[in-house]
Amino acid sequence: GQQLNQSPQSMFIQEGEDVSMNCTSSSIFNTWLWYKQDPGEGPVLLIALYKAGELTSNGRLTAQFGITRKDSFLNISASIPSDVGIYFCAGLSGYALNFGKGTSLLVTP
Amino acid sequence: NAGVTQTPKFQVLKTGQSMTLQCAQDMNHEYMSWYRQDPGMGLRLIHYSVGAGITDQGEVPNGYNVSRSTTEDFPLRLLSAAPSQTSVYFCASGTGGTGNQPQHFGDGTRLSIL
């Protein structure tokens, strides 16, 4: 599969701070997706992006589909303790979804 | 509101045994897929299906078979279990079309091969 480079690998922040993570690829994708996974559970879809340049929000989350179609970023504003988890980016090429290795987010009260 | 249901939640097998991981969804989704998740590797696509009677291979299909006889069910078969198949397996479904991406994941099957 096509390799996605997701960074940072982990983040340790205080409640109330903003968070930014990104994903890059050497390949072009038609769709970018962001998921959150809590321990012992399956990933949950947060945001789906379908057009280059698209900027989409879901509550305190904002994600953008890069102009080159090779990258995407996810921002979380005013973090809260329940934001803790692993965030995955994923790029869709045809019917195959390629995942990044995840960003582990820890939020302290 | 069942969504995607995976069974069993945990399983231990001996090398060489076969078994089937079950996946069912009640949302009438056309697209279903199987992933494995290993530490530090993210999720990797094993097989997927875009509708009943249609299946295709993903990134890591070797050692696994799938079938899609109904829209609701997408079982994953391990033909002869190997220690390298120790992993957490996730099934996912989606609405298909431009939404050919996993929108709903099950809670996973944790499989250990001894």
Percentage of residues of chain A with pLDDT beyond 70: 98
Nearest to B22 by CA among B65, B66, B92, B74: B74
Smallest Cβ–Cβ distance between B107 and the set A41, A100, A102 belongs to A41
Average pLDDT over residues B88-107: 80
Greatest distance between any 2 Cα atoms in chain A? 42
Q: Taking Cα atoms as reference points, which of A60, A53, A48, A47 lies closest to residue A15?
A: A60
Measured CA to CA, the distance from residue A1 to residue A7 in angstroms comes to 19
What is the Cα–Cα distance from A39 to A47, expressed in whole angstroms?
20
Encode pLDDT of A57-71 as tens digits. 999 999 999 999 999
Pairing of strands A71-76, A61-65: antiparallel
pLDDT of residue A2: 66
Would you say B31 and B96 are in contact if contact means Cβ atoms under 8 Å apart? yes
- Residues B62-88 have pLDDT tens digits of 999 999 999 999 999 999 999 999 999
Per-residue pLDDT at B40? 75
Least confident of A2-6, A37-41, B77-81, B101-105: B101-105
E-only strand ranges, B26-79: 31-38, 42-51, 54-57, 64-66, 76-78
- Please tell me the predicted confidence (pLDDT) of residue B96: 64
The pLDDT of residue A39: 87
> What rounded mean pLDDT belongs to chain B?
91
Q: How many CB pairs under 8 A join A and B?
A: 61
Instruction: For strands A85-93 and A103-108, give the pairing.
Output: antiparallel
- Alpha-carbon distances, residue A24 vs A7, A89, B16 (angstroms): 9, 9, 39
User: CA A58, A59, A65, A70: dihedral to nearest 10 degrees?
Assistant: -100
How far apart CA B104 and CA A46 sit, in angstroms, is 11
The more confident residue out of A39 and B65 is: B65
The predicted pLDDT at position B99 comes to 53
pLDDT of residue B100: 58
Which residues of chain A are at the B interface, by a Cβ-Cβ cutoff of 8 Å?
A: 1, 4, 31, 33, 40-45, 48, 50, 88, 90, 92, 95-102
- Could you please report the per-residue DSSP string of A9-50? SEEEEETT--EEEEEEESS--SEEEEEEE-TTS--EEEEEE-
Question: Can you give the pLDDT at residue B14?
Answer: 97
Asked if A40's CB is within 8 angstroms of B42's CB, the reply is no
pLDDT, tens digit, 9 for 90 and up, residues B29-50: 999 999 999 987 789 999 999 8
Do the Cβ atoms of A98 and B59 come within 8 Å?
A: yes
Q: What is the pLDDT of residues A5-31, one digit of tens each?
A: 999 999 999 999 999 999 999 999 989
pLDDT at residue B94, as a whole number: 87
